[in-house]
Amino acid sequence: MVNNKEDRVFHAEDGIHTDFKEKMTYGDYLQLHTLLASQKRLSTHHDEMLFIIIHQVSELWLKLIIHEIQAAITAIQEGKLQASFKMLARVSKTQSQIIQAWDVLSTLTPAEYMEFRDSLGNASGFQSYQYRLVEFVLGYKTPYILKIYEKDPEVYQVLRNAYYAPGLYDVAIIALAKQGLTINPDILQRDYSKTYEKEVSVEKAWLTVYQNTNHYWELYQLAEKLVDIEDWFQQWRFRHMKTVERIIGFKSGTGGSSGVHYLKKVLDHYFFPELWEIRSKL
């Protein structure tokens, strides 16, 4: 009876297309055959499927985050701050999705993970080039990281380009200067391959923005979008650390890192330090 009712509803929709011999389908557009054939387990353990899918989905979200941040960088460089706000807001929403993925992965118990962990060899999320690219476009540059990707010339070149390019915070600081706020020329002409470190003139400029929000409304909005991104990023790092601790404790990672110890250390890093410092001075 249910099927008959469904059939009647279906046939009542006269406009539904059913002949796709010469047309593109939903599956064709999304290349679902390739996408859904990409979960290749290296063990026979049931839970390895979860492990693979969580990481693949996270990589897709990272791809969108990179796409939006790079577009926002271009928009800010062109003085189109309002356009950049939509992109940066989308980044924050996407980050919330990646954070929730840890809740799903945490259903994997230590005993279950140990059943297939050896199949990973030295493969590790530590080697995710998209995660490193997110760090680079946000301004956190670590030279030793590039060596990991020399095996793949195409990936290496993408990372190298981002390594020497201005990050999101760099173009935000340039936007401060363009609005007449005083920025140390050394900061405006700095070597972008170096990780940014907080600077007095930048802090004073942001403080001026926050004390005169009506006058610097767009810069104020930009600052809060950056704070949103950093806040979510730190929450992602924390959930990552706690999920790893929950599953493998304080063992070393498969990629050779110190695992939880390494993840705890990176929690102390700020991409946009002055935007946090000024909160104590307002």
As annotated, the binding site includes: 51-55, 113, 117, 240, 254
Dihedral sign from CA coordinates of 221, 70, 73, 71: negative
Lookup result for tokens 């929730």: 100
Structure tokens at 96: 């919330």
The CA distance from 129 to 59, in Å, is 9
Alpha helices for 179-216 (secondary structure H):
185-188, 200-211
Contact 195, 140 (CB under 8 A): yes
Which residue ranges are tagged as binding site for heme? 240
Q: Would you give the distance in Å from CA 10 to the centre of its chain?
A: 41
Q: Are 259 and 244 in contact (CB under 8 A)?
A: yes
Read off the tokens for 191: 């070597």
Residue listed under structure tokens 């990629």: 255
CB 115 within 8 A of CB 45: yes
Question: Binding site for substrate: what residues are annotated?
Answer: 51-55, 113, 117, 254
Residue 257 contacts residue 145 (beta carbons within 8 Å): no
